[in-house]
Structure formats: C-alpha cells, structure tokens
Amino acid sequence: MPTPSSRATFIMLVAGTLLLAACGRTPPTTTAAGATPAASTSTPLAAPAAAAVATPATGEADWTLPGWITPQTTLAQLQARYGASNVRKQTLAGPEGMTYDAYVLFADDPTRRFELDLLNDGGVDRIAGIRIVDMGTRWHDANGLHTGMTLDELVAKNGKPIRFSGLDWDYGGTVQDWYGGTLALPTKRVIYPTIILTRRAGLADSVNVPVGDGIFRSDDPKWPNIGKDLVVGQVLVGWPDTGDGS
C-alpha cells in the first residue's frame, strides 16, 4: 500500500504532464495502457458522529461539477447531500502500478457516478480533485465538457485546434494545449479542468489513431478521421494548490 505522499504524487501527475508540455517537453514513457480506474477495495462509510450538517443549497439539477464541492467539503456534508449509502471510500488503480483513495459517489449508477480523489492530510481525508469517467453520465464541468463528446465537438467548443498526447500509455490522450482557444486555462489553474481522450466505443482495432508518448494536433492531415474516432474519456476537475487549501 503506498504512503500518503505517493498518493499525492499520483493525483498531481496529470498536472505534471501539462507543465511538461508548457515547457516543450514530453512526459516520460511508460508501458501500461491508460484505463478507467477499477476499484480494488470498497468501504461503505458510516456517518461521522458530529452535529447535523445542513444540506448545501445548490442542487444538481444542472449536473455541473464541481458545483458546491470544494477541497474543504467534508464526508458528513457529502453524506447529508447524497445519502450515506451512496458515498463509498474505494482504493482505485492508477498509472504505473500505483493506487489512490477516493470517495466514489453513486458507484452502482453510471449516469450519476463520479469520483473524489483524496489526499490524506495529517490523518484527514481532503478532496484533491473530481473525476468523471463513465460514458452516459449526466455530469459535466462548468464549460459543458462531458465524457463521450467527440474530438470534433471539443475543438468546436474551443474554437481552435488542440494538442494532445498519443493514446495507449499511462498518461495517453491528455490534452496538452488549447492554443489560446476559449477553453485555454489561466496559468495559475494548472489542473482545472483536464481532459483525457480515448477511442470511441465500437471503433475497430484496425483503425489507426495516434498512440505513444508523442504529441499530436487535432488538425493534423495525417489523421483525417480522429475528430470522430476520438472522444472524451475522462474529465478531471481540480483546484490550484495555493498551499492553504483554497
């Protein structure tokens, strides 16, 4: 079982890929193909013995994340909002053989499921980021980005081409550069949000798509069909690390 510091390292790995891209460098090559994390353990959580927590005012009618959730959101607040039986602590598989802990919300309902990646801060679980990984989910980020949208749709929303890492390795498919489009992020917000691309469901194995640890452009004429062949596989929403949890 990794130490808290190793879990912290994993949660910041995607941010590291973006920083490397900004410096014109490519992340180090790994061998395992990226995949939706799978739970290795699952623990239903008992409600903490604490004063009643008021349900946050913001509803999920618009299914936008992070919504009311912040790094300071507590387990008690999550249970009060979504029901104690719908919040599970799981150990999930990450890249390079690592694992990390997360609260998984609505684990048995792919239309409502999302993950809250955790850091253990002095014995207290702190939310480090939000992960949307299920196709057909209702959740999306504040820009309307959601799993299943095609690369063409993503580029159209951005208004400019994008650059991304090749598929089939631990950090494959991560969008590296928005080329100043409408989805480009302020420098201080390194991991808010991060988009990871994957093959669309049903795509034949014989269809070539960009793979490996190289960097590719969405408008590269060598790949005329990737706008339809690649879709958003994960939406990761996080907060800049200001050192004070804000």
- pLDDT tens digits, one per residue of 162-220: 999 999 999 999 999 999 998 887 654 444 579 999 999 999 989 999 999 899 999 99
What is the strand order of the sheet 39-44 is part of? 39-44, 87-93, 99-105, 114-121, 124-132, 230-238, 194-199
Q: What distance in Å separates the CA atoms of residue 104 and residue 112, rounded to the nearest whole number?
A: 10
DSSP string spanning 23-52? Answer: TT--PPP--SPP----EEEEEE-PPPSSS-
**Phi and psi for 167 in degrees, rounded to 5?**
-80, 175
How far, rounded to the nearest angstrom, does the alpha carbon of residue 213 sit from its chain's CA centroid?
19
Q: For residue 158, what are its two tokens?
A: 């951005």
Q: What distance in Å separates the CA atoms of residue 200 and residue 184, rounded to the nearest whole number?
A: 24
* Contacts of residue 184, Cβ cutoff 8 Å, sequence gap at least 6: 158, 178
- Say if residues 161 and 217 touch (Cβ distance below 8 Å): yes
pLDDT band at 58 (very low <50, low <70, confident <90, very high): very low
Q: What is the pLDDT of residue 80?
A: 96
Q: What is the pTM of this model?
A: 0.76
Least confident range of 13-22, 54-63, 235-244? 13-22
Q: What distance in Å separates the CA atoms of residue 89 and residue 57, rounded to the nearest whole number?
A: 24
111-132 confidence digits (pLDDT tens): 999 999 999 889 899 999 999 9
User: Angle 155-159-164 (CA atoms, 0-180°, nearest 5)?
Assistant: 40
* Domain ranges for the chain: 4-45+65-132, 143-238
pLDDT band at 242 (very low <50, low <70, confident <90, very high): very low
pLDDT > 90? residue 59: no
